[in-house]
Amino acid sequence: MAHGSILYITLGCAKNEVDTDRMRALLNGAGYDEVFSAEDADAVIINTCSFLASATSESIETTLTLAEEISEGVRGTRIVMCGCVPSRYGSELPDELPEVAAFVRTDEEDGIVSVMDEVLGVERVDPPFIPSVKRTVESAVAYVKISDGCDRYCSFCAIPYIRGRYHSRSAESILSEVRDLVAGGVREIVLIGQDTGIWGTDFKDEVDGPTNLAQLMIAVAEAVRPEHVWIRVLYLQPEGMTDELIAAIRDTPEVLPYIDIPVQHCNARVLKAMHRSGSAEQLSDLFAKLRAEIPAMVIRTTSLVGFPGETDDEAAEMLAFMDREGFDYTSVFPYSQEEGTFAAKMDGQVDEDVKLERTQAAMDLAEALGFAATAAHVGEVAEVIVDGIEETDEGPELIGHAWFQAPDSDGAVHLEVTDAAVGDILQVKFTDSFCYELVGEVVEE
């Protein structure tokens, strides 16, 4: 007998999606049902984001909007707020948000069954069943967190204050999860963390098996065989790109030649003020090495615009760097004065109008480079994973993504509907492009 019905709402990044998956699996195993509308739910779990002030505002607004909708009904649905907002502002929230029945920090989420039992008044005779497979992934792609927290303390970033110090998951738990996901039909494993490149460096005791990211990626590749599965890694800081890691990407067929390296800036003075290291020359040397070692390498990066003290010349230097490097994908963010961070107190806060002007210039360049990189694939034949079917004005079409497109980030491939199912890997010839999207046709094998 079900103990209650739960609607899950996830805001923010893929790491939050993973956390929601885990809570859902724990609650499913404990006898709770999942529903897909608030009017059918006994409780709603909102997994929040607080990376930026705008994300915090969205999380609060979503919660208040939901509370207003619930107040108009008769079911008495309860709201439970999880994730980054409770981690960052926990002590302040009960007074500020009386509409919420419980607050659960990121480091408390494994106890979600007890929280929901208390919120919904469930009394158990026996302890809840804890499933061995702690994910409920129904798509072709699964994000796998290999670490959490961060030790970098970049001056603009609140993540260390939200998720705590860096800690690696054990290789054994990662590989076990990967095997379960692949057995369940997942065809792409995306390894994520706040700083994936330093995975394993915090292991205090001697351990069997992989102790760095390169070794872990090879072990993941071995774990998915003989299934045809892609492996992608995201959020690698420049310092994490070791020769061993480059070789592992180059020499392991399952690992895609796709790297996400958030540089944030190229000017050495700005990087130092950000509490980061490097320079334009060092970054260019790294990208040249990557492209020389792995000619098909696709590179995604991030540009943080309008950091305190950034001059017009330094902003122009970053634009020139982006143009020179010709990144395939660049996410552009205006600097946000985040409460509790070192940079929030710095002199030289950039005027909002100037910041927005610089942001627009960076976005225009990023799009020009990205659209050109996407169009360059027209005429190629490559593998595409089918992600689902989308209804359009012209009728239904298959939506998928190619190896050079990170899911949920880099655009998609549009195909005529065939008898292909989600998770199928098709050979596709790309016939046209628009913005970051590609149109293709299935090639008969």
Quick: pLDDT tens for 283-340.
999 999 999 999 899 999 999 999 999 999 999 999 999 999 999 999 999 999 998 8
At 327, list the tokens. 């990144």
For residue 435, say whether it is annotated as part of any ligand binding site: no
Confidence of residue 393 (pLDDT cuts 50, 70, 90): confident
Please give the Cα distance from 362 to 301 (Å, whole number): 12
What are the residues facing 102 on neighbouring strands?
80
* Residue pLDDT, tens place only, 61-102: 999 999 988 876 657 899 999 999 999 998 889 889 999 999
**339-386 confidence digits (pLDDT tens):** 889 999 999 999 999 999 999 999 999 999 999 999 999 999 999 999
- Give the model's pLDDT for residue 10: 93
Would you say 82 is a known binding-site residue? no
Return the domain boundaries, the chain. 4-120, 141-375, 381-442
Q: What confidence score (pLDDT) does residue 54 get?
A: 87
Token representation of residue 197: 């490149």
Query: Which pLDDT score, from 0 to 100, does residue 130 have?
Result: 67
**Any known ligand binding at 266?**
no
Domain 381-442 falls in which CATH fold?
Answer: OB fold (Dihydrolipoamide Acetyltransferase, E2P) (2.40.50)
By percentage, how much of the chain surpasses pLDDT 90?
A: 74
Residue 228 has pLDDT above 80, yes or no: yes
List beta partners, residue 381: 429
- At 445 the pLDDT is 64
Residue range 133-187, pLDDT digits in tens: 566 677 899 999 999 999 989 999 988 888 888 999 999 999 999 999 999 899 9
DSSP string, 195-229: SGGGTTTT--S--SS--SHHHHHHHHHHHHTTS--
User: Which residue has 């998928």 as its token pair?
Assistant: 400
Quick check: helix, strand or coil at residue 51?
coil
Query: Measuring CA to CA, which residue among 260, 246, 183 is closest to residue 218?
Result: 246
- Superfamily name with CATH number, domain 4-120: Methylthiotransferase, N-terminal domain (3.40.50.12160)
Alpha-carbon distance of 164 to 150, in angstroms, equals 6
Q: Indicate if the pLDDT at residue 124 is higher than 80.
A: yes
Strand order in the sheet with 43-48: 32-34, 4-10, 43-48, 78-83, 102-105
C-alpha span between 54 and 50 (Å, rounded)? 8
| % of the chain with per-residue pLDDT over 70 | 97
What are the DSSP calls for 289-347, one per residue? Answer: HHHHHSTT-EEEEEEEES-TT--HHHHHHHHHHHHHHT-SEEEEEE----TTSGGGG-S
Give me 364's structure tokens.
Answer: 């225009």
158 and 165 Cβ atoms separated by less than 8 Å? no
> CATH fold of 141-375, please?
pyruvate-formate lyase- activating enzyme (3.80.30)
Q: Comparing 220 with 68, which gets the higher pLDDT?
A: 220
